[in-house]
Structure formats: structure tokens, C-alpha cells
């Protein structure tokens, strides 16, 4: 008996609808070039002492890091709204929301603990009644 007699085909119909597209050479090269640029800029900022403010340098490095995560997600992991019927992107958004909530909550708690629980400085002690 042949495979068609059993009613089966070479590929199940659900695979083609949910299969993520694989990248092209152009896409991989574009992702690689963007990754190299997004890695080189923070090195240049730190090694060259381009900015006087350490806070601005850290903020720019963090922003470039987030952009690099997005580049890797789309160019190398091929996660977009079409892959796996959109569920990959929904899982990524959920993960990002949880990470943001966890990190911001942790920073908020640590700030308030430091503010409310640390002993007063010698200057504050002199100003007390």
C-alpha cells in the first residue's frame, strides 16, 4: 500500500502554517554587521572616555544592549509575529514584561531599604535635635 492510500502526505498541514522562516545570507550578514557595530560603540565610549558623565555612558551602553538583544532576536533567532503562529513573540513579550517588573521592583525595594534602613551619616547626626 502506498502512503496516499492511507491518506497521509509528505508534510502534515500544521507544520507549514507554524514553521518559522529561516534566514538568508543577507539577513545573517546584516545581523552580524549590526551586532559588531553595537558591540564596538560601547567599547569606544568606555576606552576613549568620550563622555564625561559615567551615568550617560552607562545609559547609552544599556540602550545599545537592548537594541542588540532585538537584533539577535530577529536576525538570528528568527522570532517575529509570524513564527510559530505568533506564539514565539507572545512568549518573548511576556518574558520581557516579567523581567522588567522583577528588575524595577528589585531596584525600588533596594532603594527604599537603603534610604529607610541605613544609619544616618555623621552630618545628619549633627543636625539632629
pLDDT(20) > 80: no
How far is the C-alpha of 124 from the C-alpha of 16, rounded, in Å? 68
User: Does the structure show a pLDDT above 80 at 6?
Assistant: no
Confidence of residue 17 (pLDDT cuts 50, 70, 90): very low
* In a shared domain, residues 66 and 93: no
What's the domain count of the chain?
2
Judge if 28 and 69 occupy the same domain: yes
Clarify whether residues 69 and 101 are in a common domain: no
Domain that holds residue 110: 85-119
Q: Is residue 53 part of a domain?
A: yes
Q: What is the pLDDT of residues 40-77, one digit of tens each?
A: 999 999 999 999 998 899 899 989 988 998 898 888 88
Return the closest-CA partner of residue 64 out of 48, 40, 84, 87.
40
CB-based contacts of 9, cutoff 8 Å, min separation 6: 3
Q: Nearest-CA neighbor of 77 among 31, 129, 45? A: 31
pLDDT band at 5 (very low <50, low <70, confident <90, very high): low
pLDDT tens sequence across 110-129: 888 888 887 878 888 888 87
52 shares its domain with 95: no
Chain-centre distance for alpha carbon 103: 13
Residue 71 to residues 26, 38, 47, 66, 90, Cα–Cα distance (Å): 14, 9, 24, 9, 17
> How confident is the model at residue 47, as a pLDDT?
95
CA torsion, ordered 74, 79, 81, 86, to nearest 10 deg: -170
Amino acid at each position: 500500500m502506498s502512503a496516499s492510500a492511507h491518506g497521509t502526505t509528505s508534510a502534515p498541514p500544521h507544520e507549514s502554517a507554524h514553521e518559522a522562516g529561516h534566514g538568508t545570507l543577507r539577513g545573517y550578514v546584516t545581523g552580524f554587521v549590526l551586532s559588531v557595530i553595537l558591540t564596538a560603540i560601547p567599547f569606544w565610549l568606555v576606552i576613549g572616555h568620550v563622555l564625561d558623565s559615567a551615568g550617560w555612558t552607562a545609559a547609552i551602553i544599556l540602550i545599545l544592549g537592548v537594541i542588540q538583544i532585538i537584533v539577535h532576536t530577529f536576525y538570528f533567532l528568527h522570532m517575529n509575529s509570524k513564527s510559530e503562529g505568533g506564539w514565539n513573540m507572545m512568549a518573548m513579550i511576556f518574558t520581557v514584561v516579567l523581567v522588567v517588573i522583577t528588575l524595577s521592583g528589585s531596584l525600588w525595594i533596594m532603594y527604599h531599604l537603603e534610604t529607610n534602613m541605613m544609619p544616618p551619616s555623621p552630618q545628619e547626626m549633627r543636625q539632629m535635635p
